[in-house]
Each structure stands twice: as C-alpha cells, then as structure tokens.
Structure 1
Amino acid sequence: MLNERVVARAKACGLDVLVYAPHFTRLPELRARAERFSDDDLLVVPAREVFAGTWRDRRHLLAVGLAEPIPDFISLDGAFDAFRRQGAAVLVPHPLFLNVSLDAEEIRAHRERIHAVETHNLKLFEWQNRRARRIAHDVDRPGFGSSYAHLHGSVGEVWTTFEREIDSELDLVEALRDGAPRTVYRRNGPWHAARGLAEFAHLGYENSWSKLDRMFLSGTEPTHPSHVAYGGRFDDVSVY
C-alpha cells in the first residue's frame, strides 16, 4: 500500500520516480493515490500489472502510461492489444518465474510488443536474475530493475537510472518505449539479502488459493473482467 512510510523511504533512498502498481486495483484509484503522494521531490507514476490468462497459468505484464482501465484475467493477446491501443509502455516483470511470468518462447513470440524485460528483481535469486539478463539480451530488449516491493522496507533496494530527465509520467513512458539508455543498480549486504528473502516468503500469501477465493469468484471484484466498470468491453477476451 502506498503511504507516508513508503514515500519517506523512497525519498531517503534517493529515488526521483516511484512506479506504483499494486495488484487488483483499478486505474482510477491508482491515479488518485499516485497524485496524492507526488510532490516536487518524488513523482509517483501509476501502472497496472495485469494478470493475463487464468489464475493457474497467469502471465504478468506491467503497463505504464494507461489512460483507461484494463482488467485482469483476459487473454495474453487481449492484454497486448489493449496496451497497444493506449500507447502504453509494456514491460515483462520477473521473466521465466514459476507460472506467473512470460517464458522465453513467449517473450520471443511477442518481442515487438514488449519494450523492456526485467533483469533484476529483488525477490529472485541471482541465478534467476542472470537468466533474465540472458533472455533480454537474446531478444534484444532493454532491461530494467525494480525492488518489486510488496513490503515497504524493500522500496529502493533495486532501481533503474535513465540517461535523460524523467519529470513526468509521459517522460517515463517515452523513455521506456524509446529504449532510452539506462543502468540498473542494486544495494548489497546482509540487509539487502534479508529483504529479498522476506519478499520471496511473501509469495506464499500472494499466490494462495484462499486469497483467490476471497477475490475472484463473484465477478464483482474491481479488476474482474465482468465488473460493471468495464462495460462489457473485455467480454470477448475474458478467461473467466
């Protein structure tokens, strides 16, 4: 949850931009909260990490620069098409990770629709991050790094620095879509390792069936494709 503690930590870590993309939250709420916590020292950019496919075989895609809401649990092609129509930057988080990520074949198949591949994720082990860097190199797509923070103490553990000024959401979208030069950095030491392990442990809750039962059975949840807010626009690509 984006709050004063998260913002204070981001500023203390020297971040200029924070991408805010909590799961299962609709775009209008994201935008309102991002605007509330943005100021002259920190730009908070709302984004959507869309779950494409079914819960058992979902593929995460991070879209930055959306103008209209897009639900979860639509087909992969449906998600890519919706991102394209809105001119969003499309990023692949934690590639090849379990059943929640695009695999190497899918990344190659959709290469022209992807603007960057995550090459360092705090919650992954180093061999997994090396594998991600290899696939980004193989498909000739820029990398990016993130703390992928689900716990506030993880904010600022991994970050990406661009060789151009990022003063607005549009600046970030253009830098990502243009493949602007950038460098991925991370912290080191025992606290960094401990925070990574804590984030990994958090996956147990994040991926539990009990959470699914509470969130995605009635069709009235905020990012369910049949929610009234989407006006039936995604019925043809819904997987539920």
Structure 2
Amino acid sequence: MHVKALDENVVAHAKDRGLDALVYAPHFTRLPTIRERAARFSDDDLLVVPGREVFTGPWNARRHLLAIGLTDPIPDFITFRGALAELDRQDAAVLVPHPEMLNVSCSRADVAADPDAFDAVETYNAKALPPQNRAARDVVRDTGLPGFGSSYAHLRWTVGEAWTAFETAIDSPADLTAALRSETPRRVVHRTGLDHHLRGLAEFAHLGYENSWGKVDRLFLSGTEPTHPSHIAYDGRFDDVAVY
C-alpha cells in the first residue's frame, strides 16, 4: 500500500512476495512523474498505483496524508486543512500513514476531530517500532475507521514485509480508490521473524537520513522544487494555504 522505491528489482521482489499491486508514492515528486513511472513498471502480473504522500504544515510540525485516486497535482507544505479540502475536491481516497509516529504524522486527536475526512488509518507499518504500531491500532479502535498495512518501503528489500489483502479484485487504480472509499473488507498482514524485525529496524534507521534538516533546507525551501506550492506548475492555486 505504500512504497517509495520503484525499479526492476522492486517489481521482481514484489512478485516473489506474491503481491498483486503496489502504491508508489515517492516523496517530493509531482503527480505526472509518479503516474508515468507507475505506468512504466505495471504489467499483467503487478499493478503499480500512483499515489502522493502529501507533507502538510511546516517541516518541524508536519502531518502526512497519503492520497490515492488524485485527478490533479497537489503540492507539499500547505496547511493540513487546505490539503484535506483539496483532496475532498478531487474525491481522492485519503489515508493516514504511520499515525502517532514522531513529528511526521497525524495524531489520534487529528483523526478523531474529523473522522469523515479520512478513509483508512495505517495499523501496521514495517518501518515503525512495535509501540508505534500499537498506538496506530488504538487510533483505529477509537475512531472506527478501517485499517491498512504497508511496508512503507524506502529500501528495496523491505517491499512485501507488510501488505493489505482486500476481499475484492484490485485490477486498476480506480478499483483501489473505490475499495478504500467504500470500506471494502480487508486484512492487514505482515511477515514475522528475525529477518522481518531487522528489515524494519533498517527502515527506521533510514528516518534519520531522510529527515535531516540539511537535506530539507537544500531541497525544499527555495520555491523552485517540483512540489513546492509556489512552483510555477501550480499556477498560484495554493498561495493562500502555503506555509513556505
């Protein structure tokens, strides 16, 4: 339900793990680019669905939203409410990835304040530590929203460590969007054992690299990057909700 890496090795690994589909949602990449790459790596055995993990709010207090079924591009670093309004306008499936994780996610209070704004909450993330996954399950228990599971793979070998098994065929991006928005029954499944645990720890350690301030300052605050709200591609549509 959520991977950051996509190449021939990822596709082969996903097929070896018996997956039918991946949601490809790399950081700070515009929707047309994601769509093009997803289409390139989709075939009869593996569907790659384009998605966007939107960074809302300022860097030090950001809340992520995973959007599937977008019709139009949406930037990062816009307000939380501004992002939710835009995703609602597009009738996208709005998912809560890694809730209650550090400063990169929605809290239980965020979800409980407006549960109708969300379609599902992640209850198992291969990157998360056990207490974080327990906290995520508490969010689902308290709000009554459906759950989903994800490898959240930034590293290629983590693909297939966790997945979501739907009780319906998912043959297209539209099928997945519809299944999520209609609360189609599903099970959250993950691998177990030492190898699974070590792969998860490697992913968690990767957080330190991807969240370094130097990387953010270099890439995202100048206004010229692909998903910055002031980028020319957005034609000023998000100026009123931009936080940078």
TM-score over 0.5 (shorter chain): yes
Structure 1 equivalent of residue 237 of structure 2: 233
Shift of 1:110: 2.1
1:152 pairs with one of 140, 156, 164:
156
Q: Distance in 1 between matches of 2:183 and 2:141?
A: 13
Q: What letter corresponds to residue 53 of structure 1 in structure 2?
A: G
1:171 pairs with one of 162, 169, 175:
175
Q: Distance in 1 between matches of 2:226 and 2:34?
A: 12
Q: Secondary structure at the match of 1:100?
A: coil
1:96 pairs with one of 100, 107, 114:
100
Q: Superposition pairs for residues 63-212 of structure 1, below 5 Å?
A: 63-212=67-216
Q: Distance in 2 between matches of 1:90 and 1:57?
A: 19
2:53 pairs with one of 34, 45, 49:
49
Q: Distance in 1 between matches of 2:132 and 2:62?
A: 19
Offset from partner CA, 1:196-232 (integer Å, 9 cap, x none): 0000000001110011111112100000000000000
Q: What letter corresponds to residue 149 of structure 1 in structure 2?
A: A
Q: What letter corresponds to residue 68 of structure 2 in structure 1?
A: V
The alignment's TM-score, normalised by the length of structure 2, stands at 0.97
- Please identify, of 98-107 and 144-153, the stretch whose mean Cα deviation from structure 2 is larger: 98-107
Q: Distance in 1 between matches of 2:101 and 2:75?
A: 22
Q: Secondary structure at the match of 1:195?
A: helix
Shift of 1:109: 1.0
Q: Distance in 2 between matches of 1:217 and 1:17?
A: 34
Q: Secondary structure at the match of 1:44?
A: strand
Q: Distance in 1 between matches of 2:156 and 2:36?
A: 20
Q: Distance in 2 between matches of 1:42 and 1:217?
A: 36
Q: Secondary structure at the match of 1:6?
A: helix
1:18 pairs with one of 17, 22, 45:
22
2:33 pairs with one of 24, 29, 33:
29
Q: What letter corresponds to residue 32 of structure 2 in structure 1?
A: P
Q: Distance in 2 between matches of 1:235 and 1:84?
A: 18
Shift of 1:174: 0.4
Offset from partner CA, 1:70-98 (integer Å, 9 cap, x none): 00000001000110111100000000111
Q: Distance in 2 between matches of 1:96 and 1:203?
A: 15
Q: Which of structure 1's runs of 4+ aligned residues deviate more than 6 A?
A: none
Shift of 1:134: 1.3
Offset from partner CA, 1:28-50 (integer Å, 9 cap, x none): 00000000000000000000000
Q: Secondary structure at the match of 2:34?
A: helix
Aligned length: 240
Q: Distance in 1 between matches of 2:197 and 2:153?
A: 14
- Structure 1 alignment gaps of length 5 or more: none
Q: Distance in 1 between matches of 2:121 and 2:221?
A: 32
Q: Distance in 2 between matches of 1:57 and 1:129?
A: 20
Offset from partner CA, 1:163-196 (integer Å, 9 cap, x none): 0111000000000000110001000111101100
